[in-house]
Structure 1
Amino acid sequence: MPTPAPARPGTGLPSRFDDLLVQAARHEPPVTAVAHPCDHTAIAAAVDAAAAHLIDPVLVGPKDRIQKAAAEAGADISPFRLIDAPHSEAAAAAAVTLVRSGEATMLMKGSLHTDELIHAVLDPAAGLRTGRRLSHVYLMDVRSYHKLLFITDAAINIAPGLADKRDILQNAVDLSRVLGVTRPKVAVLSAVETVNPAIPSTLDAAALCKMADRGQITGALVDGPLAFDNAISREAAQDKHIVSEVAGDPDILLVPDLEAGNMLAKQLTFLAGARAAGLVLGARVPIILTSRADNERARLASCAIAVLLARARASGAAA
């Protein structure tokens, strides 16, 4: 079981990820294919998650490099299955094959590039694609905000169009519902809070709101366009005479593009001391993404939310 988390910096409060870690560790850990864990950070992430009873890792990659990384990290990998693959591309393909064959129920990124793993997942022969576009979600514990905050997409879709944003939004909504948010509130972000034809993201925001009204997006309350200040702050929204059930209380922030999302998430992490867990959605299985900048608790949280989503899908409780 995971050990108690340290207080969030500057608050004296425990991490809001704690409950998720406890819930995820209650049952048998799912077999997880870890693609190319060939540096000390990647191998430590897998070993730590196994020690926390979150995953049962299968390590896939060059055997000698994995063993060297484990030695550098002081990690004992003897209890785990190790599948030799000559390089990162082969490791990604082999990890995906484990999922396709049913030998693993989740994927975890090691030290390879994200696009190498995603390319293997999207291979039509892999059988992991669904009708949804793949997207990335950050689940963030921001000490100045009153609840966990989802930010999407900050890692996969560079310049998503309207149809892409619909999938990105729905993926995040489905995850938030699995994690206990009954009717998530979604703020569709732009630079301004009014529809302006010169700013395409405001047109997408307006269309997404109407799509939610018409049932093309389900399970959430969607509002936008909203600038970041009046999305997060009810007072800022009131100052601009914005009447909104979402303003000041969003669960999900849908960003205009990858650049905006990536900068927002990293600003919250490095300037505001937030913890961030990351997951790729839209495939048949959850895909755990961790970063070298993540601390141990954030990496464990990424595994925990993947476990909870996989378990919900297996029980038929997730979309």
Structure 2
Amino acid sequence: MSSDHDTALGYIENRPFDEIAIGDSAELVRTLTAQDIDAFAAVSGDVNPAHVDQEFAEADIFHKVIAHGMWGGALISNVLGTKLPGPGTIYTNQTLKFLKPVGVGDTVTVRVTVTEKDEENKRLTLDCICTNGDDKPVISGQAVVIAPEKKIKRPRVVMPDLVMHQRGGGYDNLLEEARKLPPLSVAIVHPCDADSLAAALKLRDIGLVEPLLVGPIARIKDVAAAEALDLGGVEIIDTEHSHASAEAAVALVRDGRARALMKGALHTDEIMSAVVSKQGGLRSERRMSHVYVMDVPTYPKPLLITDAAINIAPDLRTKADIVQNAIDLAHTIGIAEPKVALLSAVETITPRLQSTVEAGALCKMADRGQIKGGVLDGPLAFDNAISMRAVATKGITSPVAGQADILVSPDLEAGNMIAKQLMYLAGAEAAGIVLGAQVPIILTSRADDTRTRIASAAIAVLFNKARGL
């Protein structure tokens, strides 16, 4: 028999055939979570809407999402393989009757009881019963196994953490709110490749954007024909080349025909040169900056990162605008008082490290009302901005550390590296816009898929709504 001490030390031990008597039993208790259902669906491929579609399930016979029947079957296998008989057990037969559904939050007790022993073949027959919190059976059945003949005791294998994440799922609420608003008139600058043109037309189809395509009409029509895209009802403003497209798109905003810009198949500096032009550009009293709104699988809430695309080496005044732009965007997506972490390499103000000095100054500016709407702290290293474990280890006391909503990088290089590392190493989705101009600018990357472009457009729609535009 395994002892509680062995279990606490992380061992798993079986009960050989000769040590088992009729009437012996073992059990486990498990509460069903939504993550259990998602994980089982992902591994099995069983995406029956009764299990994974809330809207469908509510109209179905049980009026709620229910567990896959074989989730309970897997729990029976768990007891047989880890408790009775345990390691070395070979399954030969299993019957199951599904008596009641199991819903999220239900606690299931799984019990197996030995009813027969076949001495010649070392086989056991066990009754299997799963009951819910009311002690009513939800699954019953019978298992036949070949029991191990020798004692086995092994260290319990520590399984890897399972992170359940639906790509782009963090943007669903933003898209839902944006679609409640009238379509936003957006000048799509030089949509002369398949990705940018398809995204613009998808935004039209879902009612989020009223696109104005600005670019060489022949090239746009060629791309549409090659990709079987429908240009019906979409206005195209003909231009000669990408520079002319950027200038024409900016003119559409000045004329009141467009209330946002979206980058197509041209370089960022081309569109931004037209935006920042002193004659006919879209400057405002605020310095322009880019803000990523990232959906990071390992972080429990949206994470805003700035500036990773516009300001190369911002001075203190520019950083103040960068911070204020990010706070304003955080308000737009429902973060009432965002926690702003001013990043550096250390947590103390060090005169030789300019980013720490500027972080301290920005905090004082917030104290005196020069930056409004957020809680600032810094300097903070990246780990102390987003990890409560790191905060506890270093003994940092802060309302921001470990739970930041906004990460403000010391310069463009650091911001770009942080964002790209989260995308490519952590599987983060990265929507974002440029703020500080007269209208938001959806500055997409060539690597962005349609889902990310849609999320960025949704953010622009919500931002314009918040500004009353």
TM-score, normalization: structure 1?
0.94
Match of 1:274 in 2: 428
Aligned to 1:22: 176
| Superposition deviation, residue 219 in structure 1 | 0.5
Q: 1:189 aligns with which of 321, 343, 355?
A: 343
Give a deviation string over 1:46-102, Cα, whole Å, max 9, x none: 111111211100000111111122223332112200010001111000001001001
Determine the C-alpha separation between the residues in 1 that align with 2:295 and 2:165: 14
Match of 2:261 in 1: 107
2:454 paired residue number: 300
What CA distance in whole angstroms lies between the structure 2 residues aligned with 1:24 and 1:126? 30
SS in 2 for 1:90: helix
Is 1:205–2:390 an aligned residue pair?
A: no
What pairs up with 1:138-287 in 2 under 5 angstroms?
138-287=292-441
Distance 2:312 2:281 in 1: 24
Report percent identity of matched pairs. Answer: 57
Amino acid aligned to 1:281: L
Partner SS state of residue 259, structure 1:
helix
Contact 1:41 1:73 in 2 (8 A): no
* SS of residue paired to 1:314: coil
* Secondary structure class of the residue paired with 2:400: coil
Equivalent of 2:164 in 2, 6, 11: 11
Aligned positions of 1:73-84 closer than 5 A: 73-84=227-238
Q: Shift in Å at residue 190 of structure 1?
A: 0.5
AA aligned opposite 1:314: G
1:13 CA displacement: 4.4
C-alpha distance in structure 2 between counterparts of 1:306 and 1:162, whole Å: 27
Residue correspondence of structure 1 range 106-145 to structure 2 within 5 A: 106-126=260-280, 128-145=282-299
The code of the aligned residue for 1:115 comes to: D
> Residue 12 of structure 1: CA displacement?
4.7
- Greater strand content: 2
Q: 1:185 to 1:307 in 2, by over 3 A?
A: same
Code of the aligned partner of 1:128:
L
Report SS of the residue matched to 1:150.
strand
Aligned to 1:91: 245
Shift of 1:114: 0.9
- 8 A Cα contact 2:187 2:262, kept in partner: yes
RMSD: 1.4
Q: Does residue 45 of structure 1 match 2:184? A: no
- Partner of 1:236, secondary structure, is helix
Q: How big is the shift at 1:115?
A: 1.1
Shift of 1:127: 5.0
Distance 1:12 1:105 in 2: 33
Take 1:70 and 1:257, find their aligned partners in 2: how far apart are those partners? 39
SS at match of 1:96: helix
Distance in 1 separating the partners of 2:411 and 2:385: 17
**Cα pair 2:385 2:402 within 8 Å, conserved:** yes
Change (3 A) 1:59 1:13: closer
Which whole-Å CA distance do the structure 1 matches of 2:338 and 2:359 have between them? 16
Answer 1 or 2: higher relative contact order, Cα 8 Å, separation at least 6: 1
Give the whole-Å Cα distance in 2 for the aligned partners of 1:126 and 1:214: 35
Counterpart residue type for residue 413 of structure 2? E
SS at match of 1:69: helix
Residue 288 of structure 1 is aligned with which of 427, 434, 442?
Answer: 442
Instruction: Give the secondary-structure state (helix, strand or coil) at the position aligned to 2:467.
Output: helix
> How many residue pairs align between the two structures?
308
Deviation at 1:146, TM superposition (A): 0.7
Q: Secondary structure at the match of 2:221?
A: helix
Q: Say which is worse superposed, 155-164 or 125-134, in terms of deviation.
A: 125-134
* Structure 1: unaligned runs, 5 residues or longer: none
State the partner residue of 1:58.
212
Is there any run of 5+ residues in structure 2 with no aligned partner, and where?
Answer: 1-52, 54-161
Q: How far 1:225 sits from its partner (Å)?
A: 0.3
C-alpha contact 1:196 1:202 (8 A) present in aligned 2: yes
Aligned residue identity for 1:129: R
Length-normalised TM-score, structure 2: 0.64
Contact between 1:142 and 1:275, CA under 8 Å: does it hold in 2?
A: yes
Contact 1:42-1:111 within 8 A present in 2 as well: yes
Once the two structures are superposed, residues 178-212 of structure 1 have per-residue CA deviations (whole angstroms, 9 ceiling, x without a partner) of 11111000000011111111111111111111111
Runs of 4+ with deviation above 6 angstroms: none
Give the deviation of 1:251 after TM superposition: 0.5
Amino acid at match of 1:240: K
CA distance in 2, matches of 1:71, 1:266: 33
Aligned partners of 1:89 and 1:273: how far apart in 2? 34
Letter in 1 for 2:242: S
Amino acid at match of 1:32: V
Based on CA coordinates, which of the two structures has the bigger radius of gyration?
2
- Indicate if the aligned counterparts of 1:62 and 1:84 stay in contact, CA closer than 8 A: yes
